Amino acid sequence: MDLTKLVFLLVLVCSIPVFHAYGQLDDKPPQGVLRSGIVGVKLLDAYFGTSTEKMEVGPGDKNVPFTVEFANISTTDIVGIKGQLSLPTYFQSPQGINYPILADSNTRATTGSNFHLTFYVDISDGALIKTYPGSVEIDYSRLKSSGVRQNSFQFTFTLPGESILNLKSLTPVITSITNNDVTLEISNSGSATLSNVNIVLQNTDTSISSASTSTTNVEKVIFDQNYWKIGNINPNSAKTFSFNVFVPESLKNEPLRIPMKITYSNAHGDKQSLIRVADLYINGLIKPSIYGVKVIELSGKKTVIGEILNEGNADGLFGFVKLLPLGDSNIRESSQYIDEIEPDSPIPFNMPIESNGLLSFGEHDIRIIVSYKDAVRDEHTITYDTTITINPFADNTDYGSIIGGLIFLAFVIVIGYKLYSKGKIPFIKKGKIPYVSKKTES
């Protein structure tokens, strides 16, 4: 191998670590601390919240804590720590736009320990949910040493936004003794995403329902599911989930409170857990049916009668029965108020038949409509179509007797007129009115 090739190979081999190191720096830029060569104090993190908890905050929030964490990496303890925070114009001191954002700490930061400064800021309505640059300047003194030392740090921080979680039922009313399809809505009206949302029904196996005094009757109903994986919920959006619930007969006309444990990750990535309650109302079951519809003669009137049987477990309120003619029937529409439709007790109804013109005998198509209201005052109706037959009145009824009497009277009048016209009525001559003279006293 000649000398030229050997030199070229040596240069190539020596240059590989340099290129590799350059790539590492380019792929992983420094995070948080941008100042090198720090002596004494090192900046660790900057975020909205306190030293014990990061907080979700968003545009328009006022007087919110902003914490900067440091580490004392010097060989001595430091005291008298004060700081001044510099942030973009969207973030200002609660005292006003021209006031500095200050904080101080009365604690003693021992060697190798961490310490923090918590500032308070107002956030403008025009701030965006994103990452911003900032800087902080701190003053401190070393223990057993005179003079005040000063360090400045630059950092980046994120305005995380805040998630606002709510749970409500899109099926506000369910019915007793029935399988009910229930849909709940979980919404996020905040400015930050709810991530990895999971929901667990709190039933009889949880501490809520097994407590000495239960605040919910959820343990008395039957659910077909108890866990739902929702995923992410973006700001100002909602997702729904559904399940089936059976309510026993013992529960009616009362609220059903369903506690749900919701876990999610907030804008800082911290896992959160809370309880939300969905409220529903259990309506009693009203299940009426119409039967026994027929025509009778009552007090000389053709009358439609029938009965209503409620097979549910709650009263139907403000009940009405309506009779409607169908097809070419000349029966006139009529109605009757029957008040409450009680369970397991037949409710009779009767409606005298009125007609438009002379009542037609024979078959009539009619419709019976029963309307009522439930406990929450929602109105319901059921219908029953049938055919009734109207026969001529029987002679043994009061109305038949009247008709018979009228026919007999008309027959007598006709016969009397014929006799009168022929002059065969004693003491009455045709064309002359009988005259009875008054008896005078002598």
Alpha carbon distance 388, 362 (integer Å): 8
Cα–Cα dist 369/350, whole Å: 13
CB of 274 closer than 8 Å to CB of 165: yes
Residue for token digits 């009168």? Answer: 420
Q: Closest Cα partner for 194 from 267, 298, 129?
A: 267
| Displacement of CA 96 from its chain's centroid (Å) | 42
Cβ atoms 301, 289 nearer than 8 A: no
End-to-end CA distance of the chain, in Å? 190
The alpha carbon dihedral of 294, 297, 303, 306 has a sign of: negative
Please name each of the domains of the chain with its CATH number. 41-158 (2.60.40.10), 165-283 (2.60.40.10), 288-390 (2.60.40.10), 397-442 (no CATH)
Other Cβ atoms less than 10 A from the Cβ of 429: the count is 10
3-state helix, strand, coil in the chain (%, to 5): 10, 50, 40
The reported pLDDT for the residue numbered 394 is 57
Triad 410, 400, 402: Cα angle to 5°:
45
- Token pair for residue 309? 């049987």
Per-residue pLDDT of the chain (442 residues; tens, 9 = 90+): 555 555 455 545 444 443 332 232 233 333 333 344 446 899 999 999 999 999 999 999 999 999 999 999 988 999 999 999 999 999 999 999 889 999 998 889 999 999 999 999 999 999 999 999 999 999 999 887 778 899 999 999 999 999 999 999 999 999 999 999 999 999 999 999 999 999 999 975 544 444 444 556 888 899 999 999 999 999 999 999 999 999 999 899 999 999 999 999 999 888 999 999 999 999 999 999 999 999 999 888 899 999 999 999 999 999 999 999 999 999 999 999 999 999 988 999 999 999 888 888 999 999 999 999 999 899 999 999 999 999 886 544 444 445 545 655 665 575 566 556 656 555 555 555 554 445 444 4
- The predicted pLDDT at position 370 comes to 97
Q: How far is Cα 54 from Cα 198, in angstroms, rounded to an integer? A: 22
From the centroid of its chain, how far is CA 185?
A: 7
74 CA to centre of own chain:
59
Q: Are 205 and 218 in contact (CB under 8 A)?
A: no
pTM of structure: 0.67
**CA atoms of 146 and 169, how far apart (whole Å):** 66
pLDDT of residue 8: 53
On whether the CB atoms of residues 387 and 364 are closer than 8 A, the answer is yes
